[in-house]
Amino acid sequence: MFKEYTVEQVVKESRTIKSFYLSPKDGMQVPSYLAGQFVNIKVKPDGSDKELVRSYTLSDKPGATYLRLTVKREEYGKVSAYLHEVITVGGTLLVSDPMGDFHLSVNNQNPLVLISGGVGITPMLSMAEYVFDRQPERQIYFIHSSLNRNVQPMLDRLQYLKTTSNNFKLVIFHSDPLEEELVDIDYDYRGFITQERLPLIGNAEYMVCGPVAFMETVFSFLSEFEIAEDKIHFEFFQSPKTVESKQPIKQGASNGIKVTLVKSQKTLFWQEGAGTLLELVESAGLQPDNSCRMGTCATCQTKLLGGSFQYEPEPFMEPEEGNILICCAIPTSNVEIDL
């Protein structure tokens, strides 16, 4: 369910990133959440014929009197552009309850290795702030990679955590630093993250978030270290297919597995190559709600009224009882869905 929030403050964090501080319009307390979780927001940018839903991580520690979203302006992005260019203090946003499985485990004091690229820093900020505040004895290695100072968010805050806590280790990579940037002040290492700079700690939890290629690289480094897979946690912000899948896949088959869209009173046919149910439905000109397109955000969950399906790929979360995540589902028999 979405609730109205007022935008209390907007802070420019870098050339491409802004933070939005939100409080519930009804004066109620902000919902509780775990460090690393996200919310969905629903907006209707000017010129868009429908409401769009996108996910944004709560980037400050749980327990604050506000929710903070820290959003990168994507070059051709509809919602991030709307937030950056249209939404100002006093504006209203529709915000869901917090959700997501990528969060800090607070029941132990195991060391944390937070590895992020670009705006993938947002869940790490929340986790770092929580640990700094509530688990000061816990060791944190905060490793972040970005292009240069122009796009690096929150460096002052991170340096404050580093100088205030002996347990907070900070390593900043800038792949293409500006000429005036200084080593040890603006960044620690030039270039991309390298394996030898990652700490190898037996009982640590590794949390990783960033662009897909970044995560693949980090995962291969950690695997070579033989870190157990259950100690490595990932959050994907965007499916590798997001841009290409905006193109309809294979249109207008007249036979195959029957997919009945009950509300729209349409019948489509799914064949090998038609992609997921979401892609099939889009190829017929419909625009169901979706955001991550990889089973992370639950935006696309739709009631399954009949038939069977399988997930390909396996989603990162479970939808509500009786629903399926159509961004990851392909039908295995004739199906009816509530669209």
Ligand X SMILES: Cc1cc2nc3c(=O)[nH]c(=O)nc-3n(C[C@H](O)[C@H](O)[C@H](O)COP(=O)(O)OP(=O)(O)OC[C@H]3O[C@@H](n4cnc5c(N)ncnc54)[C@H](O)[C@@H]3O)c2cc1C
Q: Which residues are at the interface with ligand FES (CB under 6 A)?
A: 290-293, 295-300, 325, 327
Q: Residue 243 binds what, of ligand FES, ligand X, none (CB under 5 to 8 Å, by partner type)?
A: ligand X
Q: Residue 145 binds what, of ligand X, ligand FES, none (CB under 5 to 8 Å, by partner type)?
A: none
Q: Which residue is nearest to ligand X (CB)?
A: 77
Segments of 162-256 assigned E as strands: 168-174, 189-190, 205-209, 232-235
Q: Residue 19 binds what, of ligand X, ligand FES, none (CB under 5 to 8 Å, by partner type)?
A: none
Could you give the CA distance from residue 74 to residue 76 in angstroms, rounded to a whole number?
Answer: 6
Q: How far is the CB of 10 from ligand FES (least distance, A)?
A: 26
Paired residues of 53 in beta bridges: 42
| Nearest of 257, 329, 258, 235 to residue 290 by alpha carbon | 329
Residues forming contacts to ligand X in the complex (CB under 6 A) are 38, 54-57, 70-72, 74-81, 100, 119, 122, 235, 237-238, 242-243, 291-292, 296-297
Counting every residue, how long is the chain? 339
Q: How far is the CB of 249 from ligand FES (least distance, A)?
A: 16
| Nearest of 276, 268, 232, 259 to residue 333 by alpha carbon | 259
Q: How far is the CB of 125 from ligand X (least distance, A)?
A: 9
Q: How far is the CB of 247 from ligand X (least distance, A)?
A: 10
Paired residues of 38 in beta bridges: 57, 99
Q: Residue 237 binds what, of ligand X, ligand FES, none (CB under 5 to 8 Å, by partner type)?
A: ligand X
Quickly list H helices, 86-172: 121-134, 155-164
Could you give the CA distance from residue 8 to residue 83 in angstroms, rounded to a whole number?
Answer: 14
Q: Residue 122 binds what, of ligand FES, ligand X, none (CB under 5 to 8 Å, by partner type)?
A: ligand X
Q: Specify the residue, 121 or 297, whose C-beta has the smaller distance to ligand FES.
A: 297
Could you give the CA distance from residue 246 to residue 233 in angstroms, rounded to a whole number?
Answer: 28
| Nearest of 227, 221, 162 to residue 192 by alpha carbon | 221
Q: How far is the CB of 269 from ligand X (least distance, A)?
A: 28
Are residues 118 and 210 in contact, defined by beta-carbon separation less than 8 angstroms?
Answer: yes
Could you give the CA distance from residue 36 to residue 57 in angstroms, rounded to a whole number?
Answer: 7
Q: Specify the residue, 151 or 284, whose C-beta has the smaller distance to ligand X.
A: 151
Q: How far is the CB of 23 from ligand X (least distance, A)?
A: 18
Q: Residue 302 binds what, of ligand FES, ligand X, none (CB under 5 to 8 Å, by partner type)?
A: none
Q: Specify the residue, 115 or 327, whose C-beta has the smaller distance to ligand FES.
A: 327
